[in-house]
Amino acid sequence: MAGEYGIEWTVERDLAWNDNAHPAATPGPGLSVDDGTVMLRGRLDLTPDGAAVLDIDGSLVLFDLAHPVPQSVDGTWIEIHCHRDAVYLTPYTL
């Protein structure tokens, strides 16, 4: 059906700096799929309780951290890469 839909992002992969996450080559939000790998680009916000939130143009994706992330990347543009089978979109009604 035509119209606007709300979705919830779920990524079943912890954020691991210098493994599946690194500084973005270019600033700005992004989403792409290539050879089964999903790339999410957004602004990283570290939470006081040891998690991270990726802001992709207003869509927020919560990540657990595999290990501590350098404080210097808080508030910067990053890219996270993961296998497409680890990414789920669930529709919901507003």
- DSSP β-bridge partners for residue 42: 78
| pTM attached to this predicted model | 0.87
∠ CA 40-43-46, nearest 5°, is 110
Q: How far is CA 47 from the centre of its chain?
A: 14
Kindly give, in sequence order, each residue whose CB lies less than 8 Å from that of residue 86, ignoring residues fewer than 6 positions away. Answer: 11, 12, 13, 38
Which pLDDT score is estimated for 21? 97
Residue 53 confidence class, pLDDT cut points 50, 70, 90: very high
Taking the C-alpha atoms of residue 23 and residue 42, their distance in angstroms, rounded to an integer, is: 10
The mean of the pLDDT values for the chain is 92
Q: What is the DSSP secondary structure assignment for residue 19, as one 8-state letter?
A: T
